[in-house]
Amino acid sequence: MSITSSSPTSTRAAADESGEGGFALVLTLVVILALSLLTEMMTRWVSTALDQALANREEVDANREIAEAEAAAIYLVATRPFSNRGIEVLTDAQVSSAPPALLLQGVPSAENYVRLDDQRYRLGDVVLRLQDMRGLINLNLGSYDDLFALLGIFGVSTDDRGPLIAKLQDYID
């Protein structure tokens, strides 16, 4: 009976001769590379998803603030009286204590009022502007004399007003 033992160097030499010596190392490196690429892709995907979620949250917050400002404006228009100054911001006590005849004769002047001349009002991060139709000139229907006077208000010289009105009327036609 003979016992043969092989040394580790002889098995490595046999594996090297058959071309399989570095296969496990290469396979390990390929697996590590694949896992690192997969991790990078997932990291980018999660980062993009977080960025989109943050952008969506900011958009929702902005839309909510706009809706709240619109609701406040609608509330003022629906519940507060109008005067020549704009919307009179009367307190509830002033509205309920005013006799009905006074409300029919004229609106009592409040300490605060909202101007309806495109004045800027800030509600949080929203800028609200209210404009009524008084004082606006329809350029499509304005007469020559009205447009001439309007240009004078804005400081346009008399010689330049006629040609500007003619160009506007040509544009409208």
Q: Is 24 a member of any domain?
A: no
Give the total number of structural domains in the chain: 1
Where do runs of H (alpha helix) occur along the chain? Answer: 8-18, 23-79, 92-97, 100-105, 144-153, 158-172
Residue 93 in any domain: the answer is: no
pLDDT of res. 122:
92
In a domain, 158, yes or no: yes
User: Which domain does 155 fall in, by range?
Assistant: 137-173
Residue 168 lies in a domain: yes
- Could you read off the pLDDT of 83-126 as tens digits, one per residue? 888 888 887 777 677 655 455 456 677 788 888 888 899 988 89
pLDDT at 116: 87
What percent of the chain is predicted at pLDDT more than 90? 40
Question: Coil, strand, or helix at residue 122?
Answer: strand
In a domain, 156, yes or no: yes
Residue 29 within a domain? no
Are 131 and 118 contacting, i.e. CB atoms less than 8 angstroms apart? yes
What's the confidence (pLDDT) of residue 30? 95
Residue 120 DSSP label: E
Q: Is the pLDDT of residue 7 over 60?
A: no
163 within domain boundaries: yes
Does residue 90 contact residue 80 with C-beta atoms inside 8 Å? Answer: yes
In a domain, 159, yes or no: yes
CB within 8 Å of 15: residues ≥ 6 apart: 21
Average of per-residue pLDDT values in the chain = 83
